[in-house]
Amino acid sequence: MPTLSVVDAAPNPRGRVGVVGLGYIGLPTAACLAGAGFEVIGIDVDPRVIEAVNAGRAHIVEPGLDELLSAVVDGGRLRAVLAPEPADIWLIAVPTPVGHDQFRTPDLSYVDAAADALAPVLKRGDLVVLESTSPVGTTRRMIERLSAARPDLRFPQDGRPEAEVDVDAAYSPERVIPGRTLEELAINDRVVGGATPRAARRAAALYRHMTSGELLQTDDRTAEFVKLAENAFRDVNIAFANELSMVCDQVGLNVWEVIRLANHHPRVSVLTPGPGVGGHCIAVDPWFIVAQAPEAARLIRTAREVNDGKPDFVLAKIGAVLEADPQAVVACLGLAFKPNVDDFRESPSLDIARALTARYPGRVICAEPYADALRDPGELVLKPLPEALETANAVLALVAHDEFRALPRPRVPVVDACGLWK
């Protein structure tokens, strides 16, 4: 089978792409590449994912993905398997969480496992692109691991001239926003960092089939840090908004009004406060920087602490309402980590609802339009929105899902952590 060569934009995709990890990033990427004409094999360790994908169904909620999947699966361009089969280009999009230890140590075991799984089927001429958000040096770590498993192949290490490299390696972070993944995959600019310039060019040639955005070539370590810098930027700015909300509460001001007015300044754009910061990315990635440069990354660490502290503030506010009226029952609106997604990872709203339920058993009801995707509701009492509002005599707005936006402000005590009624 012909492999993708060093071209700027190959009009006719040829070659087989293996995408390791079929989650929020890997699955839409695999579907888009298949839609662009590649033969794609999706690899995932979760049999439920394999089953759903091969049936042409997405196991995640993402607008347009079901339609695209069923077209490319029916057309024979995408199939999912549990273990890697030979391919020409590899994309790795597996989780990269942080540990719960005090140093939030990055957990690279999924990347290691993905490298171990694909090493046996690697061959001369392959390109391996890591997409998982990673601490600086992870692509090099992956190369070392692949090299240890395949001493018969030459990898880009130890200053080896690129002409002597058998397997190219690159890093390209993903910037899409869940809920608009397909749209953004097709237009976002992309940073493509090669362990060698050839690897960057080859990876850029692949992505040219997917995006009309700029393909910005650099080295792998720079590309790794760019992604972390982007998410730390977001986190620091959200921390500023969250801190303003707590200061305004203390001095008796409406933070939404303050921000609205401040944002009329031509060079000010304060973000929206919320119940904290969640998800797989912004709440996690800045820790990679802190772990690598703890002395230098003081602002980034403080921002993380401010955002991680916000759920306690929200809990105290709604706790005061429940303490003031021992008969009060509160409806928590939204549990996802942000509006209009079925993603509950690191969700501060979910943490708040769980803590409230534990503290005030029988007095907390939750309404979440995406509750079907919540794998482990535990003790949470989930009800449809109308029933939750009918039963409750206090409301805690946690996530500004579209479904909640049309609601008039309830005539009961409200703690609005997400600006639903700003």
Residues near ligand NAD (CB under 6 A) are 20-26, 43-46, 49, 93-96, 110, 113-114, 117, 132-133, 174, 176, 178, 280-281
The nearer residue to ligand NAD, 23 or 419, going by C-beta atoms, is 23
Q: Which two tokens stand for residue 184?
A: 């953004």
| CB atoms closer than 10 angstroms to residue 345 | 17
Minimum Å distance from CB 175 to ligand NAD? 6
The answer to whether the beta carbons of residues 401 and 334 sit under 8 Å apart is yes
Minimum Å distance from CB 336 to ligand NAD? 13
Query: Which residues neighbour 236 within 8 Å (Cβ) at sequence distance 6 or greater?
Result: 299, 300, 303
Give the span between the Cα atoms of 26 and 47, in whole angstroms. 15
| Catalytic residue positions, numbered | 227, 281
The nearer residue to ligand NAD, 134 or 242, going by C-beta atoms, is 134
Minimum Å distance from CB 95 to ligand NAD? 5
The nearer residue to ligand NAD, 72 or 394, going by C-beta atoms, is 72
Give the span between the Cα atoms of 241 and 230, in whole angstroms. 17
The nearer residue to ligand NAD, 172 or 357, going by C-beta atoms, is 172
Q: In the chain, helix, strand, coil percent, each to 5?
A: 40, 15, 45
| Number of residue whose CB is nearest ligand NAD | 23
Minimum Å distance from CB 231 to ligand NAD? 8
**216, HSE (Cβ side, Cα atoms, 13 Å):** 12
Range list of β-strands (E), 135-188: 168-171
Give the span between the Cα atoms of 93 and 280, in whole angstroms. 13
Burial of 19 (0-12, 13-18, 19+ CB in 10 A): buried
Give the span between the Cα atoms of 12 and 114, in whole angstroms. 29
Q: What is the dihedral of CA 77, 83, 86, 90, to 10 degrees?
A: 80
Minimum Å distance from CB 23 to ligand NAD? 2
Give the span between the Cα atoms of 303 and 409, in whole angstroms. 31
The nearer residue to ligand NAD, 23 or 64, going by C-beta atoms, is 23
The nearer residue to ligand NAD, 20 or 353, going by C-beta atoms, is 20
| CB atoms closer than 10 angstroms to residue 104 | 18
Minimum Å distance from CB 283 to ligand NAD? 10
